[in-house]
Chains A and B, each alone.
Chain A
Amino acid sequence: MKKALYLAAFLAIVSGLAGGILAGVYQLTAPIISEQATIAVKANLQKIFPTATEYKVVTFTDDTKLITDVYEAVGAGYAYKVTVTGYKDVITFIVGISNDAKIVGFDVLSINDTPGIGQRVGTEEFSKGVIGKGSTDAISTLSGATISSTAVVKGINAAKAHFNALKKITDTGSSTADPVVTVTLGSAIKLFDTITTTPVGEVTNKVVEGDITTYTVSSKGYAVLESEHDSNPKPNIIIVKIDTVKKQIVSVTFSEFHDTKNVGDKANTDTFLKQYAGLSTADTAISVDTVSGATFTSVSVNRAVRAAIESK
C-alpha cells in the first residue's frame, strides 16, 4: 500500500513538474508565436490582394467544417483558408474573393496526393478554371483527377457560400460543373466488320417520311455487355436517319444513353456522331473512328447503324 502511494506520488510530482515547465514555456512563447503566424498569413494574403493594406480576422460559422480561417482584406475582398480531404491526405488552400464577387486568387498551400494525377489541382491547369469565376459560377473538376479536384471544388464552394451569404448574393447555379470532356478519336472500325456482328442492334421502330426513313434502334452497350455493377442494365437507344433515295446516312443521335457517365458518353458527342453523316448505305467498306476510352459505346452505335441499314 505504501509502495503504491509512493509510486503515484512520484508520477504525480513528475507530471506536475512537466506541466509547470510546459506552462512556463507556453507563456513565454505564445505571444511571439501568434505574431509569427499573422506575418506568415499576411504574406499569403498580400499575394491575392496586393492593393489591400489592412487585414482583419473574421469570425465565422461554416456548416461544412471545411473553412479553417476567414480574413477580410479591408476594401478589397475576403480570403478563405480551406482544408479538404483529398485522395491521400488533406489539401490546404487559400481562395480569395474580391468585393465585386470574383475569385481573384487560388493558391494550394499543401498537397500530398499522387504526383501527376491528384497534384494537378495545384497547377495552373486547375487554377485557370478557378480564377476569374464569379462567386455564383460553377467550378469544373479535372477529368482524370476527380477525387482531388472534387474535394477542392467542394472547399471552394464552401468559401463561395460564405461569401454569398455575407454579401446577400443568391446562388442559383449548380454547385459542381461537369468535368471538361475531351474526346479523342482512336482506331477506325468498319461498320460491317466482324466486331459488330454479334450482338446485333434491334430495330424497334421505323417511320418513313418522304425520302427520309427514321429508325429507332436498341443496341447493347457497355452496361448490358460488360458492367457487373449495374443490376438492371439497359441498352442504348439510338435514332438513325437514312435518306433512302440518295442512299446516305443523314444523322445518328442518342435517344437514351445507359452506359457509364463521363466514360461512354464521350461517344454521345458531335465529334463522334458527325462522322456518320453522309456515309453511303450501299458501301460495305464504310468506317468511323471509335472514341478512345469509349470503345464499347462507340461499337454499340455502329451496330445500331448497321441494323438500320440492313433492315430496309
Chain B
Amino acid sequence: MNKMKKFFRSLVLDNPVFGLFLGTCSTLAITTNLNNAFGMGVSVIVILTLSNVLISAIRKITPDEIRIPVYIVVIATLVKSVELLIKAYTPELDTALGVFIPLIVVNCIILGRAEAYASKNGILASAKDGIMMGLAYTLSLTVMSLIRQIVATGTLSLSNPFNNVVLFNISLFAKEFTISMFSQPVGAFLTFALLAAAVAAYRISVEDKAKKEAK
C-alpha cells in the first residue's frame, strides 16, 4: 500500500509536465485527442529510456565541459534512427506519429532527465527513471487530451496506432453543447493552467501534512 502511494505521489508530484514544467510545448500542441496523446507518450517513453541508458553508459568518459552537445548528438541520433525505422517498417504508425517524432529531439524532458539524472546515476536506475518519467508524461498528456477532446467534440475515440483501426468511439453529448475553443491553443492553455493549479494544490496539501507530522 505504502509503495503504491509512493508510486502515485512520484507520478503526480514529480510529474515532468505539471510538476517540473518540462516539455510543455509538445503538451500544448498535441493534446487535441487521445490518439495523439498515446502516440506521443509511447514515443517519448521509448526514446527517453534509450537515451537515459546510453547517456548513463557514457557518463564516466564524457568530459563535463562538453556534456550538453554530446547529449544532444546522442538524442538526435537516437530519434532520427527510430524515425527512419518506424517509417520503413510500420508505415501506419508513421502516419499516426510521423509529426511528433522529430519534435522529441527538442522535448526538454529528454535533455532534462539526461542532465539531471542519467549523467549521475547507473544504467539500471537511469532506465527506470526514463520509464517512470515517460509514464508520468503520458499520464499528463492523457488527462489533458481527455478533457480537451470531450469538451471540444463531445466524443471520445481511440484508434490503434499500429493499424488505425478504431477501438472505440463514444458520443457523450450533442454537438450543440461543445466548446470548440478547447481544440484551439487557447483551450490548451486553459486546460494546462487548471491542471497545473490542481497539482500545485495537491503538493501544498501534502507538504502541510508532512509539516504537521514533523511537529
Which A residues form the contact surface with B (CB < 8 A)? Answer: 6-7, 10-11, 14-15, 18, 21-22, 25-26, 28-29, 32-33, 36, 39-40, 115-116
Give 14 new A-B contacts, CB below 8 A, not counting A11-B69, A18-B77, A29-B89.
A6-B63, A7-B63, A10-B62, A11-B73, A14-B73, A18-B74, A18-B76, A22-B77, A22-B81, A25-B80, A25-B81, A25-B84, A29-B88, A32-B89
CB contact under 8 A between A33 and B87, given known A6-B63, A14-B74: yes
Is there contact, CB below 8 Å, between A40 and B63? no
Q: Which of B88, B89, B91 has the most CB of A within 10 A?
A: B88
Is there contact, CB below 8 Å, between B85 and A7? no
Is there contact, CB below 8 Å, between A33 and B84? yes
Is there contact, CB below 8 Å, between A29 and B77? no
Is there contact, CB below 8 Å, between B77 and A21? yes
Size bracket, chain B contacts: 20 to 34
Q: Total A-B residue pairs with C-beta atoms closer than 8 Å?
A: 50
Q: Which of A11, A26, A40 contacts B66 (CB 8 A)?
A: A11
Is there contact, CB below 8 Å, between B81 and A36? no
User: Taking the nearest CB of chain A, how far is it from the CB of B19, in angstroms?
Assistant: 30
Of all chain B residues, which has the CB nearest A21? B77
Is there contact, CB below 8 Å, between B180 and A115? yes
Is there contact, CB below 8 Å, between A29 and B74? no
CB contact under 8 A between A29 and B73, given known A7-B65, A11-B66, A36-B91: no
For residue B85, which residues in chain A have a CB less than 8 angstroms away from its CB?
Answer: 25, 29
Is there contact, CB below 8 Å, between B84 and A29? yes
For residue B84, which residues in chain A have a CB less than 8 angstroms away from its CB?
Answer: 25-26, 29, 33
Is there contact, CB below 8 Å, between B73 and A18? yes
For residue B195, which residues in chain A have a CB less than 8 angstroms away from its CB?
Answer: none
Q: Is residue B31 within 8 Å, beta carbon to beta carbon, of the partner chain? A: no
